[in-house]
Every structure is written in C-alpha cells, then in structure tokens.
Amino acid sequence: MPAAFRPLDDKVSMMSNDSQNSHPHNDESPFHNVAAIVTGGAKGIGAAIVRRLAASGASGASVAIVDFDAAAARALADEVPGAFAVTADVGDYTVLSEAMEAACIRLNGLDLLINNAGWDHVQRFTDTDPSLWDKLIHINLKGVFNATHLAIPRLVARGGGRIVNVASDAGRVGSSGEAVYAACKGGTIAFTKSIARETARHGITVNCVCPGPTDTPLLEEIKQDERAAATMDAIVRATPNRRLARPEEIAEAVAFFAAAPAHVTGQVLSVSGGLTMAG
C-alpha cells in the first residue's frame, strides 16, 4: 500500500466506510495535527492561508510562517493560535535550509508545504534589465525550488504529504508588463507537474493554485504606478465577476488541494472570477 498523508487520508478512508460508523466529527478540521509551512505567510494571500489552515484554533494546523518580513510574520503569529514566525529569504538556499530545519524541529516534522512567497514589478520587458530578472527569478522560481527540495525528504520521512504552489494566471495565459514574472509562474506550473510525477510513489501530492488579480499589499504596490493601476482597472472590468479576488478565496482553493485525496495531483486551478477560462 502506498504511503499516505496520514491525518487526511485516514479521514478520507473513514468517510468512505459508512458501515463502520466512523465519520470524523463534522467540526473537526482536516488540518488537525497537520504540520505546515507557509512561505510568504506574513501578508496578503499567505496570511489568509495561515489563518485558513489554523482556523479552528486548537484543532487546526500548526503553521510556520516563513517570511523575510520578520515584524509582519511575528505580528500575525501573535494573532493566530498554532502559528509561529521564522525569518528567511526563500531564494537563499542556505538561509532557508536553516529556517526550515528550525521550523520542522518546532513542528515535529512536516506534512504540508505551501509555496506562496512571491513578488512582482510591472514594466514592459524591453525597459527591464537583468538585475530585475534575477530578483524575480530568485523569489518566484528559486524560492519554490529551494523550499520544495528541502521539504521532500521530510515529507517522505513522514510517509506522504502535500505541496501546494501559488503560481499565477500570468503563468497560464501570459501578461504584458510581467514577462519574466509570468515565465517564473509558468515555470512553477511545469515544476508542479514534474514534482507531482516524481513524488506520487511517496504519497506526496503537488498541485498549483493560480490567482488572478487579488486584493493584497503586492497589488497595492503595483498600483502605485499609474499605467499599471489603469491596466488593473481594465482587467477588473473584463472580469465576469467584476472585482478583484479576496485573499481568503485563494486560501480556500489552497486548502482544497491541501486536504484533497492522494489521487488529486499535478493539477492547476485558476481562481480569477472567470477572467481566464483557457484550458
């Protein structure tokens, strides 16, 4: 029998076996006893993910918020039961390695990695230079490689687990002014599928959530630029739901993959109010 993500897979099999009358309590979180790391968890979508996973307080996940904004991570950890802060730049393998080691000692292992940390700067490609490309790749692509590389042996040791990557619709359909960012996110999508293939035999699933424009501090930063703000308004008008996503809506999709059965792997889910419907 393949290894499994114990806390969740035990519940899924219990739910499919009525005759044993062994349903979990309805109010029990699927993240009860789950040890989780959320990168970039201090603000925006990451903070909503931290809250969602830890939502039920004592019965929610234990969550390490791995973020390079130490103050914001600590402030959120003070507020969310079961959460604690660890400072690291996800793009720096050595620093992240130490941070994840410290986090996993405190968590007593690892069941769930959410690769959410990301950053963007909107500018026409021909006006950008290699130092910006390096920064975008460092955070958005190498950060995902680093955390995944450091997490897999721990998930294998646990007998299975879940990885959920937060990419972007920019990586699915492209986005002008975001060419390198979109390349990183497209890379994250391809990486998700490849790692899903490599780790399935260990009971590890790897899936990807692609937000459309979402109301976060990052979007506020992008909208400081007048042209980017005008583009964002046009995008909202073109969105069937006619509004930005809320971080909690992205967190809900992440929670779905984090608690989904082991057969759900290598998948990409867009959360964009219908803005993108390409396959």
Ligand X SMILES: NC(=O)c1ccc[n+]([C@@H]2O[C@H](COP(=O)([O-])OP(=O)(O)OC[C@H]3O[C@@H](n4cnc5c(N)ncnc54)[C@H](O)[C@@H]3O)[C@@H](O)[C@H]2O)c1
* Among 103, 224, 109, 95, CA closest to 161: 109
Cα 131 to chain centroid, rounded:
26
The encoded tokens of residue 118 equal: 């990301």
CB of 37 closer than 8 Å to CB of 100: yes
Closer CB to ligand X, residue 43 or residue 202? 43
| Minimal distance, residue 267 CB to ligand X, in Å | 17
- Under DSSP, is residue 3 helix (H, G, I), strand (E, B) or coil? coil
| Minimal distance, residue 166 CB to ligand X, in Å | 5
181 an active-site residue? yes
Tell me whether residue 234 is exposed, middle or buried, using C-beta atoms within 10 angstroms of its C-beta: 0 to 12, 13 to 18, 19 or more: exposed
| Minimal distance, residue 95 CB to ligand X, in Å | 9
Residues that bind ligand X (CB under 6 A): 39-40, 42-46, 67-69, 72, 89-91, 116-120, 139, 143, 166, 168, 211, 213-214, 216-219
Residue with tokens 């909503």: 48
Closer CB to ligand X, residue 262 or residue 272? 272
Q: Of 5, 31, 181, 191, which residue is the catalytic one? A: 181
Closer CB to ligand X, residue 69 or residue 225? 69
SS (H, E, C) 124-153: CHHHCCHHHHHHHHHHHHHHHHHHHHHHHH
User: Cα(26)–Cα(255) distance, rounded to whole angstroms?
Assistant: 17
Closer CB to ligand X, residue 160 or residue 171? 171
| Minimal distance, residue 244 CB to ligand X, in Å | 7
Residue 254 to residues 5, 90, 133, 210, Cα–Cα distance (Å): 16, 19, 27, 10
Closer CB to ligand X, residue 29 or residue 168? 168
| Minimal distance, residue 17 CB to ligand X, in Å | 37
The residues that are catalytic are 181
